[in-house]
Structure 1
Protein backbone atom coordinates (compact mmCIF):
# COMPACT_ATOMS: atom_id res chain seq x y z
CA UNK A 1 0.00 0.00 0.00
CA UNK A 2 1.37 3.41 -0.98
CA UNK A 3 1.11 6.10 1.65
CA UNK A 4 -0.23 9.40 0.31
CA UNK A 5 1.83 12.51 0.94
CA UNK A 6 0.42 14.76 3.66
CA UNK A 7 -1.56 17.81 2.65
CA UNK A 8 0.05 21.21 3.15
CA UNK A 9 -1.25 24.37 4.80
CA UNK A 10 -2.62 25.80 1.56
CA UNK A 11 -5.26 23.02 1.50
CA UNK A 12 -7.04 24.53 4.52
CA UNK A 13 -9.14 27.69 4.89
CA UNK A 14 -8.70 28.76 8.53
CA UNK A 15 -6.25 27.94 11.31
CA UNK A 16 -6.30 27.87 15.07
CA UNK A 17 -3.21 27.47 17.24
CA UNK A 18 -3.71 25.05 20.11
CA UNK A 19 -1.25 24.52 22.97
CA UNK A 20 -0.16 21.01 23.88
CA UNK A 21 -0.03 19.79 27.45
CA UNK A 22 2.42 17.53 29.26
CA UNK A 23 -0.35 14.98 29.76
CA UNK A 24 -0.97 14.77 25.98
CA UNK A 25 2.19 12.66 25.60
CA UNK A 26 2.00 8.92 26.03
CA UNK A 27 4.61 6.54 27.44
CA UNK A 28 6.52 6.71 24.14
CA UNK A 29 6.98 10.48 24.34
CA UNK A 30 4.57 11.50 21.58
CA UNK A 31 0.95 12.60 21.55
CA UNK A 32 -1.53 9.87 22.37
CA UNK A 33 -3.81 8.99 19.43
CA UNK A 34 -6.97 9.89 21.35
CA UNK A 35 -5.65 13.43 21.90
CA UNK A 36 -5.52 13.99 18.12
CA UNK A 37 -9.32 13.63 18.10
CA UNK A 38 -9.63 16.15 20.94
CA UNK A 39 -7.81 18.71 18.79
CA UNK A 40 -10.04 17.93 15.80
CA UNK A 41 -13.19 18.31 17.92
CA UNK A 42 -11.86 21.59 19.34
CA UNK A 43 -11.01 23.00 15.90
CA UNK A 44 -14.46 22.24 14.46
CA UNK A 45 -16.49 23.39 17.45
CA UNK A 46 -14.41 26.52 18.06
CA UNK A 47 -15.05 27.59 14.46
CA UNK A 48 -18.79 26.92 14.85
CA UNK A 49 -18.89 29.05 18.00
CA UNK A 50 -16.86 31.86 16.35
CA UNK A 51 -19.19 31.82 13.33
CA UNK A 52 -22.03 32.90 15.65
CA UNK A 53 -24.53 31.03 13.47
CA UNK A 54 -25.48 28.28 15.93
CA UNK A 55 -26.08 28.58 19.66
CA UNK A 56 -23.62 26.18 21.25
CA UNK A 57 -24.28 24.16 23.34
CA UNK A 58 -27.94 24.93 24.14
CA UNK A 59 -29.42 25.95 20.78
CA UNK A 60 -32.34 24.33 18.96
CA UNK A 61 -29.97 22.66 16.43
CA UNK A 62 -26.92 20.64 17.46
CA UNK A 63 -24.30 18.63 15.59
CA UNK A 64 -23.77 14.96 16.39
CA UNK A 65 -20.62 13.18 15.25
CA UNK A 66 -21.52 10.22 13.04
CA UNK A 67 -18.08 9.45 11.60
CA UNK A 68 -14.44 10.28 12.20
CA UNK A 69 -11.08 9.06 11.04
CA UNK A 70 -7.47 10.15 11.20
CA UNK A 71 -4.37 9.46 9.10
CA UNK A 72 -1.07 9.94 10.90
CA UNK A 73 2.04 11.17 9.09
CA UNK A 74 4.33 12.45 11.86
CA UNK A 75 4.48 12.65 15.64
CA UNK A 76 3.13 15.57 17.62
CA UNK A 77 3.61 16.23 21.29
CA UNK A 78 4.38 18.55 24.18
CA UNK A 79 5.84 21.17 24.20
CA UNK A 80 5.23 21.97 20.52
CA UNK A 81 2.02 23.87 19.70
CA UNK A 82 -0.42 22.42 17.16
CA UNK A 83 -1.93 24.45 14.33
CA UNK A 84 -5.30 23.02 13.32
CA UNK A 85 -6.28 23.82 9.74
CA UNK A 86 -9.98 23.50 8.91
CA UNK A 87 -11.88 23.08 5.68
CA UNK A 88 -15.24 21.68 4.58
CA UNK A 89 -15.28 18.85 2.05
CA UNK A 90 -19.04 18.42 1.75
CA UNK A 91 -22.16 20.30 2.78
CA UNK A 92 -25.31 18.19 2.68
CA UNK A 93 -28.91 18.94 3.58
CA UNK A 94 -28.35 18.15 7.26
CA UNK A 95 -24.72 17.06 7.42
CA UNK A 96 -21.24 18.50 7.02
CA UNK A 97 -17.94 16.73 6.43
CA UNK A 98 -15.13 18.72 7.99
CA UNK A 99 -11.47 18.02 7.31
CA UNK A 100 -8.80 19.04 9.77
CA UNK A 101 -5.05 19.07 9.27
CA UNK A 102 -2.90 19.08 12.39
CA UNK A 103 0.50 20.73 11.99
CA UNK A 104 3.44 20.88 14.40
CA UNK A 105 3.74 24.64 14.96
CA UNK A 106 4.61 26.35 11.68
CA UNK A 107 5.37 23.14 9.75
CA UNK A 108 4.27 23.09 6.10
CA UNK A 109 3.07 19.46 5.97
CA UNK A 110 0.25 18.05 8.09
CA UNK A 111 1.35 15.66 10.81
CA UNK A 112 -2.17 14.23 10.77
CA UNK A 113 -5.28 14.58 8.60
CA UNK A 114 -8.70 13.92 10.05
CA UNK A 115 -12.23 13.69 8.72
CA UNK A 116 -15.15 14.52 10.97
CA UNK A 117 -18.84 14.37 9.98
CA UNK A 118 -21.61 16.10 11.89
CA UNK A 119 -25.30 15.46 11.30
CA UNK A 120 -27.32 18.43 12.52
CA UNK A 121 -30.41 17.52 14.48
CA UNK A 122 -33.22 19.05 16.47
CA UNK A 123 -31.80 19.28 20.00
CA UNK A 124 -35.00 17.93 21.53
CA UNK A 125 -36.03 15.14 19.14
CA UNK A 126 -32.53 14.26 17.84
CA UNK A 127 -34.01 13.99 14.32
CA UNK A 128 -32.04 15.45 11.37
CA UNK A 129 -32.98 18.96 10.29
CA UNK A 130 -31.87 21.11 7.35
CA UNK A 131 -28.81 23.24 8.08
CA UNK A 132 -29.84 26.72 9.24
CA UNK A 133 -29.36 29.18 6.36
CA UNK A 134 -26.83 31.44 8.14
CA UNK A 135 -24.80 28.42 9.18
CA UNK A 136 -24.81 26.93 5.65
CA UNK A 137 -23.64 30.28 4.26
CA UNK A 138 -20.79 30.46 6.79
CA UNK A 139 -19.77 26.88 5.96
CA UNK A 140 -19.38 27.80 2.30
CA UNK A 141 -16.40 30.01 3.24
CA UNK A 142 -14.59 26.83 4.33
CA UNK A 143 -15.35 24.71 1.27
CA UNK A 144 -12.39 23.16 -0.51
CA UNK A 145 -12.21 22.46 -4.24
CA UNK A 146 -12.39 18.69 -3.95
CA UNK A 147 -12.91 16.36 -0.99
CA UNK A 148 -10.12 13.98 -0.05
Structure 2
Protein backbone atom coordinates (compact mmCIF):
# COMPACT_ATOMS: atom_id res chain seq x y z
CA UNK A 1 0.00 0.00 0.00
CA UNK A 2 1.38 3.40 -0.94
CA UNK A 3 1.73 6.19 1.57
CA UNK A 4 -1.15 8.74 1.47
CA UNK A 5 -0.28 12.07 -0.10
CA UNK A 6 -1.62 15.55 0.64
CA UNK A 7 -3.86 16.77 -2.19
CA UNK A 8 -3.68 20.12 -3.99
CA UNK A 9 -6.60 22.57 -4.13
CA UNK A 10 -7.23 21.60 -7.74
CA UNK A 11 -8.36 18.15 -6.55
CA UNK A 12 -11.56 19.60 -5.07
CA UNK A 13 -14.67 20.99 -6.75
CA UNK A 14 -16.08 23.31 -4.08
CA UNK A 15 -14.72 25.21 -1.10
CA UNK A 16 -16.21 26.67 2.05
CA UNK A 17 -14.54 28.51 4.90
CA UNK A 18 -14.84 27.19 8.44
CA UNK A 19 -14.06 29.44 11.37
CA UNK A 20 -11.91 27.72 13.95
CA UNK A 21 -12.79 28.14 17.61
CA UNK A 22 -10.68 28.48 20.75
CA UNK A 23 -11.90 25.08 21.94
CA UNK A 24 -10.73 23.38 18.71
CA UNK A 25 -7.09 23.57 19.83
CA UNK A 26 -5.78 20.90 22.15
CA UNK A 27 -3.03 21.01 24.77
CA UNK A 28 -0.43 20.55 22.00
CA UNK A 29 -1.43 23.85 20.38
CA UNK A 30 -3.15 22.58 17.25
CA UNK A 31 -6.66 21.54 16.24
CA UNK A 32 -7.43 18.19 17.85
CA UNK A 33 -7.82 15.27 15.44
CA UNK A 34 -11.45 14.59 16.35
CA UNK A 35 -12.39 18.14 15.30
CA UNK A 36 -11.36 17.41 11.71
CA UNK A 37 -14.35 15.07 11.41
CA UNK A 38 -16.63 17.90 12.52
CA UNK A 39 -15.12 20.05 9.77
CA UNK A 40 -15.81 17.25 7.23
CA UNK A 41 -19.44 17.07 8.33
CA UNK A 42 -19.79 20.86 8.21
CA UNK A 43 -18.30 21.13 4.70
CA UNK A 44 -20.50 18.39 3.20
CA UNK A 45 -23.74 19.49 4.84
CA UNK A 46 -23.13 23.17 4.07
CA UNK A 47 -22.86 22.29 0.39
CA UNK A 48 -26.03 20.16 0.44
CA UNK A 49 -28.03 22.84 2.28
CA UNK A 50 -26.80 25.59 -0.06
CA UNK A 51 -27.61 23.38 -3.08
CA UNK A 52 -31.18 23.15 -1.76
CA UNK A 53 -31.26 19.35 -1.41
CA UNK A 54 -30.94 18.90 2.36
CA UNK A 55 -33.47 20.16 4.88
CA UNK A 56 -31.95 19.21 8.23
CA UNK A 57 -35.13 20.04 10.15
CA UNK A 58 -37.99 18.63 8.07
CA UNK A 59 -36.58 16.80 5.04
CA UNK A 60 -37.78 13.26 4.47
CA UNK A 61 -34.29 12.06 3.45
CA UNK A 62 -31.27 12.33 5.76
CA UNK A 63 -27.70 11.06 5.54
CA UNK A 64 -26.22 8.71 8.13
CA UNK A 65 -22.44 8.34 8.33
CA UNK A 66 -21.30 4.74 7.92
CA UNK A 67 -17.58 5.30 7.31
CA UNK A 68 -14.95 7.98 7.84
CA UNK A 69 -11.21 8.23 7.39
CA UNK A 70 -8.58 10.97 7.71
CA UNK A 71 -4.87 11.36 6.96
CA UNK A 72 -3.07 14.25 8.64
CA UNK A 73 -0.19 16.09 6.96
CA UNK A 74 0.20 19.45 8.72
CA UNK A 75 -1.35 21.11 11.77
CA UNK A 76 -4.28 23.50 11.69
CA UNK A 77 -4.62 26.03 14.50
CA UNK A 78 -7.00 28.54 16.04
CA UNK A 79 -7.53 31.41 15.16
CA UNK A 80 -6.77 30.64 11.50
CA UNK A 81 -9.73 29.83 9.26
CA UNK A 82 -9.87 26.46 7.54
CA UNK A 83 -10.81 26.15 3.88
CA UNK A 84 -12.60 22.87 3.23
CA UNK A 85 -12.60 21.46 -0.28
CA UNK A 86 -15.07 18.74 -1.19
CA UNK A 87 -15.70 16.44 -4.11
CA UNK A 88 -17.86 13.40 -4.73
CA UNK A 89 -15.91 10.23 -5.45
CA UNK A 90 -18.83 7.82 -5.86
CA UNK A 91 -22.62 7.96 -6.07
CA UNK A 92 -24.50 4.73 -5.42
CA UNK A 93 -28.23 4.05 -5.28
CA UNK A 94 -28.52 5.29 -1.69
CA UNK A 95 -24.96 6.12 -0.70
CA UNK A 96 -22.35 8.76 -1.47
CA UNK A 97 -18.61 8.89 -0.83
CA UNK A 98 -17.47 12.45 -0.24
CA UNK A 99 -13.77 13.32 -0.20
CA UNK A 100 -12.62 16.34 1.76
CA UNK A 101 -9.40 18.32 1.95
CA UNK A 102 -8.78 20.75 4.80
CA UNK A 103 -6.46 23.64 3.99
CA UNK A 104 -4.91 26.34 6.10
CA UNK A 105 -6.24 29.59 4.64
CA UNK A 106 -4.29 30.38 1.47
CA UNK A 107 -2.31 27.11 1.38
CA UNK A 108 -2.15 25.16 -1.87
CA UNK A 109 -1.66 21.77 -0.18
CA UNK A 110 -4.12 20.08 2.18
CA UNK A 111 -3.25 19.81 5.86
CA UNK A 112 -5.58 16.79 6.02
CA UNK A 113 -7.45 14.64 3.52
CA UNK A 114 -10.26 12.26 4.25
CA UNK A 115 -13.54 10.77 3.22
CA UNK A 116 -17.03 10.43 4.54
CA UNK A 117 -19.63 7.87 3.35
CA UNK A 118 -23.27 8.69 3.89
CA UNK A 119 -26.16 6.30 3.37
CA UNK A 120 -29.32 8.26 2.73
CA UNK A 121 -32.36 7.02 4.60
CA UNK A 122 -35.98 7.86 5.26
CA UNK A 123 -36.03 10.11 8.33
CA UNK A 124 -38.87 8.17 10.00
CA UNK A 125 -37.98 4.54 9.20
CA UNK A 126 -34.17 4.91 8.94
CA UNK A 127 -34.30 2.56 5.94
CA UNK A 128 -32.16 3.33 2.83
CA UNK A 129 -33.88 5.22 0.02
CA UNK A 130 -32.97 5.85 -3.60
CA UNK A 131 -31.33 9.25 -3.90
CA UNK A 132 -33.83 11.82 -5.22
CA UNK A 133 -33.00 13.18 -8.68
CA UNK A 134 -32.33 16.79 -7.51
CA UNK A 135 -29.90 15.35 -4.95
CA UNK A 136 -28.08 13.35 -7.63
CA UNK A 137 -27.83 16.47 -9.82
CA UNK A 138 -26.26 18.43 -6.94
CA UNK A 139 -23.77 15.60 -6.33
CA UNK A 140 -22.81 15.45 -10.00
CA UNK A 141 -21.88 19.14 -9.88
CA UNK A 142 -19.03 18.33 -7.47
CA UNK A 143 -18.06 14.95 -8.91
CA UNK A 144 -14.66 15.48 -10.57
CA UNK A 145 -14.26 12.09 -12.20
CA UNK A 146 -16.51 9.34 -13.42
CA UNK A 147 -17.04 6.21 -11.30
TM-score above 0.5, yes or no: yes
Which structure 2 residues correspond to residues 1-148 of structure 1 after superposition, within 5 A? 3-145=3-145
Aligned residues: 147
Report Cα offsets for 1:39-58 as digits up to 9, x if no partner. 11100111110010232232
Shift of 1:23: 1.1
Q: Secondary structure at the match of 1:83?
A: strand
Q: Secondary structure at the match of 2:134?
A: helix
Shift of 1:2: 5.3
Q: Under a length normalisation based on structure 1, what TM-score does the superposition of the two structures give?
A: 0.95
Rounded Cα–Cα distance in structure 1 between residues aligned with 2:45 and 2:57: 10
Root mean square deviation of aligned Cα: 1.4
Q: Which runs of 5+ in 1 are unaligned?
A: none
Rounded Cα–Cα distance in structure 2 between residues aligned with 1:146 and 1:136: 14
Shift of 1:80: 1.2
Report Cα offsets for 1:24-65 as digits up to 9, x if no partner. 110000110111111111001111100102322321111000
Q: Which runs of 5+ in 2 are unaligned?
A: none
Shift of 1:145: 1.8
